[in-house]
Structure 1
């Protein structure tokens, strides 16, 4: 039975390795994100966002929904850890 369970894992690993071959290299200046989106952010970011810091303008204006989602996930994870590890008083209940 254990041998049968390892076959899907090997298949999944092969698919992931094959898919990783199509990803751009880390820091590649010719990757799609660097060639299509970044130049526009750099060229028009200050005027469109009104921010004095371009990174803040991108995170708070262009990528606001992503930033809100990431913040929500981090807060939910922190709340879950707090509830699991220390949410109960020491002398109350089981």
Structure 2
């Protein structure tokens, strides 16, 4: 009975994974075609172009990359750092428990 449950669970996981991969690949745009989001009527008014031109002055950063990461996406970067820190702490705790049990 346990072997049947394991086989069923494995089949469900593989089917779900295959469906997710299929859904992602079918909904992705063609490689290299990035849609520009425009603010105004022309392509020169695209958001990316405005960020390239105005980011260092608006945020006070030294370059465009720093201004995007810390100025425009600061909360996102803080969240990513928090997730990374939590993952490292979790791995350290797992290794510590494994070492004590030996």
Q: Same fold (TM over 0.5)?
A: yes
Query: After superposition, what is the alpha-carbon deviation per residue over 1:59-93, rounded to whole angstroms, capped at 9, x for unaligned?
Result: 00101111011000000001111111137986xx9
1:20 aligns with 2:25: yes
Question: In structure 1, what is the equivalent of residue 42 of structure 2?
Answer: none
TM value normalised by structure 1: 0.68
Q: CA RMSD in A?
A: 3.3
How do residues 74-93 of structure 1 correspond to structure 2 at under 5 angstroms? 74-86=84-96
Q: SS in structure 2 opposite 1:21?
A: helix
Q: Aligned with 2:95: secondary structure?
A: helix
Aligned to 2:40: none
Residue correspondences, number: 88
Unaligned runs of 5+ in 2: 38-46
Give the Cα–Cα distance (whole angstroms) in 1 for the partners of residues 93 and 75 of structure 2: 27
Deviation string 1:10-69 (CA, Å, 9 cap, x unpaired) is 36524531431221345x2x413xx22422221211121111121111000101111011
Gaps of 5+ in 1: none
Normalised by the length of structure 2, the TM-score is: 0.63
User: Which one has a larger percent helix, Structure 1 or Structure 2?
Assistant: 2
